[in-house]
Structure 1
């Protein structure tokens, strides 16, 4: 068994790599928001001036919204910028709230891990069947599934890192950036 400091250093490196990966995915999500805005503006402008728009504008918007949701989720979780209802946590004693936070993170890691497994299965199945999306645009279906396993892998790791941060911190509920309390 490795000494605690070696394991701690390795986990700190994993934390750093995860953070960088989450920031890259969030930047891609921002790029998709920009693309979506440009495509919709071009479509509206073309419809107003030339009486015909971009046939793929709605598909680009739909697929972008889907990808943005998956790509931004891990960084939002890390920064505590997801929405959470913490009325029960605030009413509990600090140690009990800490335990509940840890249990919720453990459940989040388990659920994300299960969805990760399923998403990899769906991605591999779509790839092996050479399924195609045929709408205004035509492309391999598995392209749509790429954000899922990447995001779910990072979410699983992030939940585990959150559990580690709880263990290292004070025994009280964490103060997230967004709360519905």
Structure 2
């Protein structure tokens, strides 16, 4: 079991690393596009397309890691005012709701990806690109987010710290 946990953690952190590298690529691509336009050149079609796809992958690949690190934006004004027992109940209920929503989005994402494969859909803007390569990110990322939110439902750690304000 520890090997499985290490593999899962490696997958999560690997996805986050790819998301980070994608962020660097987005910076480089935008700067390159702006410089090319300013010197009178037409930026490459694949440059613009890669930034569009990069934004999707950056978001989807980094999201499960953000859940694990409690990096998503949430407001703790209500949970900070609750008693510790009630705070834990509310936090676990919110996490359970997030598991349900993530599960539904993973299911619908899988349906979308399978539909793209069955129809042999292509994104045909700059190049012919199989659409399933884009939509495969949905079921993978939302499934991992559901797992991460479930850790806050069933584990010892709570999603909410119960402290209002900025704590870094």
Q: TM-score, normalised by structure 2?
A: 0.87
What is the aligned partner in structure 2 of residue 118 from structure 1? 108
Q: Which moved more, 1:55-64 or 1:83-92?
A: 55-64
Q: Which runs of 5+ in 1 are unaligned?
A: 1-9
Cα distance change of structure 1 residues 83 and 39 upon mapping to structure 2, 3 Å threshold: same
TM-fit CA distance, 1:120: 0.7
**1:25 paired to 2:9:** no
Tell me which residue corresponds to 1:153.
Answer: 143
**Does 1:37 pair with 2:23?**
no
Structure 2 runs not aligned, ≥5 long: none
After TM superposition, the runs of 4+ consecutive aligned structure 1 residues lying more than 4 A away are 12-15, 176-181
1:64-87 alpha-carbon deviations (Å, 9 max, x no partner): 111111110111110111110111
Structure 2 residue corresponding to 1:175, chosen from 145, 161, 166:
161
Instruction: Show the counterpart of 1:88.
Output: 78
Scaled by the length of structure 1, the TM-score of the pair is 0.81
Q: What count of residue pairs does the alignment treat as equivalent?
A: 167
Pick the aligned partner of 2:91 from 94, 101, 126: 101
Q: Give 2:154's match in structure 1, choosing from 164, 171, 174.
A: 164
Q: 2:131 aligns to what?
A: 141
Determine which structure has more spread, i.e. the larger CA radius of gyration: 1
Cross-structure match for 1:78: 68
RMSD: 2.5
